[in-house]
Amino acid sequence: MSALRSSSQPAVFVIAPTDVSVQVRATDAPVLRFTTSAEFERWSHDSSARVAAAVYAALAELNIDLSSCSPRTQEVIVRLCERETIPSVKELFAACSSRRSFYRSWNDDIHETPSAFLTRVRLLHLRSSAAHDDSAAQGGTPGGSDVMR
């Protein structure tokens, strides 16, 4: 988990018309600026296509070969990859018949709690989305160039 914490970087999403000044004080955080909420929604839905890539990247970071996992865990991962957004843990195991069986197979195969894994997937998804859609989101504002109130 320490590698996850050290590599995690929060992002700032700004939804404001271009004529509105914005300043983000966290200079180390990536900033994505959208001129309308509709533009943000389009970006958000378009980025959902990369959920599967983020799941597989998270598995790779943990050195997990999905084919060596139990069928139950494989099914959960496949369902996760098919989603448009990254679910909460509660949503993740809502489709499972038994919470106990879910955790047993998950812990045997993944060796990271479901919440920690989903956090890892969210961060990877956010980073890949931010990198891929940088120009669509206007690349954010340069640090200290605008004022936010």
pLDDT in tens, 83-93: 878 888 888 87
- Check whether 142 has a pLDDT greater than 60: no
Is 0.75 surpassed by the pTM of this model? no
Q: Say which amino acid occupies 105.
A: S
**CA of 50: how far to CAs of 6, 70, 124, in Å?**
23, 24, 10
- DSSP code at position 137: T
Distance, CA of 39 to CA of 112 (rounded, Å): 35
> Rounded to an integer, what distance in angstroms lies between the CA atom of residue 16 and that of residue 48?
22
Q: What local confidence, expressed as pLDDT, does residue 51 receive? A: 86
CB 78 within 8 A of CB 62: no
| Per-residue pLDDT tens digits for 96-129 | 778 888 889 999 999 999 999 999 999 888 877 6
Q: Which residues pair with 32 in a beta bridge?
A: 13
Tens digits of residue pLDDT in 8-65: 445 788 888 889 888 887 667 777 888 888 888 777 666 556 788 899 999 999 999 9
Give the strand pairing for 31-34 and 12-15.
Answer: parallel
